[in-house]
Amino acid sequence: MKSIFDKPTRDAIIARIKTLNENNIPQWGKMNVYQMLKHCTLSDEMYLGDKVYPRQFIGRIFGKIALNNLTKNDAPMGKNAPTSKDFKVQQSAGDIIAERDKWAGLIERYQDFDAPDFTHWFFGKMTKEQVGQLAYKHADHHLRQFGV
Give residue-wise pLDDT tens across range 95-144: 999 999 999 999 999 999 988 889 999 999 999 999 999 999 999 999 99
The pLDDT value given to residue 47 = 96
Residue 82 pLDDT class (50, 70, 90 cuts): confident
Q: What is the DSSP string of the chain?
A: ---TTSHHHHHHHHHHHHT--TT---SSSS--HHHHHHHHHHHHHHHTTS---PPPHHHHHHHHHHHHHHTSSSPPPPTT----GGG--------HHHHHHHHHHHHHGGGG---TT-EETTTEE--HHHHHHHHHHHHHHHHHHTT-
9-33 pLDDT per residue, tens: 999 999 999 999 999 999 999 999 9
Its pTM stands at 0.95
